Structure 1
Amino acid sequence: MTTSMTKAERETFLADTRIGMLSVPDGRAPLLVPIWYAYEPGGDIRISTPSTSRKLTLIKQAGQAGFAVQQEEMPYKFVSVDGPITGYEPTDPAEYHRWSIRYLGPADGERFFAAIEETLPHWTTISIRPTRWRTFDFSKEFA
């Protein structure tokens, strides 16, 4: 019996609304931060951050990143990936607006987006290509 997810299961799980954990080399210990993201099955993971952030500097130095999401309630599940950075682009306000609504709901998402919208010209969106996948689905322990 395997507790690994199929390709379809892992991609669907990663595409759900979850808080991701970004990991980037930073000297002796990695920088590990929670972050919003977007993912469509078969594509790249997209994250956005202020262009002056420590994480963007480290990502550019490393050229790669690790990323993980989990389900915190039973049955426990996680998807962890790592891969190269495939692109940097200015953050699209319309895309970040969708993320705000996705993560915070309509009212809070609108309020949050209005508070940060003027800063978005100074943000960068990074694409990470998942190349190595690790998965676990605790519900398969009982199948």
Structure 2
Amino acid sequence: MKALSPTERDAFLSEPHVGVLSVASDDGRPPLTVPVWYAYADGVITFFTGTQGRKARKTRLIERAGVLSFCVQKTEFPYRYVTAECTVVGAEREPSVEKVLAVTSRYLPADAARGFAEAETSNPTGTFVLFTARPDRWSSVDFAGE
């Protein structure tokens, strides 16, 4: 077991894994933890909330806290994971199709990814938010040597 180098970490995060974010909750509840599609480029993580006009509790919590934890893991051997403590540095309510496509194209076929991005950006409801988070502290493990 060893930590990933920054180059290995960046390559791992560039693969289309599902991320899991955690953000402080309110009303004495535990942190909210949810899976999200994400993109990783230029040292920042982008992901969205509030799709299809649905209000997302996580949107309010992320905006209030301004920080979150993010985890990505590989569930097949050799196991790997990366976690990051992040500062939220952007919240776009009317992002461009290209910015949304940077996320959706990692998980959907090209036509479906574009259709999703265009649908979300063509009729802004105020609930769709593209967040950008800057990792401040990293932790990672690679179990390849186990």
**TM-based fold match above 0.5:** yes
Task: Specify the code of the residue in structure 2 equivalent to 1:109.
Answer: A
Deviation digits for residues 4-62 of structure 1 (CA, Å, limit 9, x no counterpart): 11111112111211110011111331111110111115x21111112842111001111
Is the CA contact 1:19–1:34 (under 8 Å) kept in the aligned structure 2?
yes
Report the CA distance between 1:102 and its aligned residue: 2.1
* 1:34 and 2:31 correspond: no
Unaligned residue ranges in structure 1 (runs of 5+): none
SS at match of 1:8: helix
What is the distance in 1 between the residues matched to 2:100 and 2:125?
11
Higher helix residue share: 1
Task: Specify the code of the residue in structure 2 equivalent to 1:25.
Answer: A
Is the CA contact 2:47–2:103 (under 8 Å) kept in the aligned structure 1?
no
CA 1:66–1:118: 2 relative to 1, 3 Å: same
Instruction: Tell me which moved more, 72-81 or 44-53.
Output: 44-53
* Number of equivalent positions: 139
Give me the TM-score of the superposition, normalised by structure 1: 0.84
What is the distance in 2 between the residues matched to 1:83 and 1:109?
26
* 1:109 and 2:119 correspond: no
* 1:8 and 2:7 correspond: yes
What is the distance in 1 between the residues matched to 2:134 and 2:12?
16
1:139 equivalent among 131, 136, 144: 144
SS at match of 1:104: coil
Instruction: Tell me which moved more, 93-102 or 18-27.
Output: 93-102
SS at match of 1:140: coil
Give me the TM-score of the superposition, normalised by structure 2: 0.82
SS at match of 2:139: strand
Q: Percent identity?
A: 35
Instruction: Tell me which moved more, 60-69 or 91-100.
Output: 91-100
Report the CA distance between 1:101 and its aligned residue: 2.7
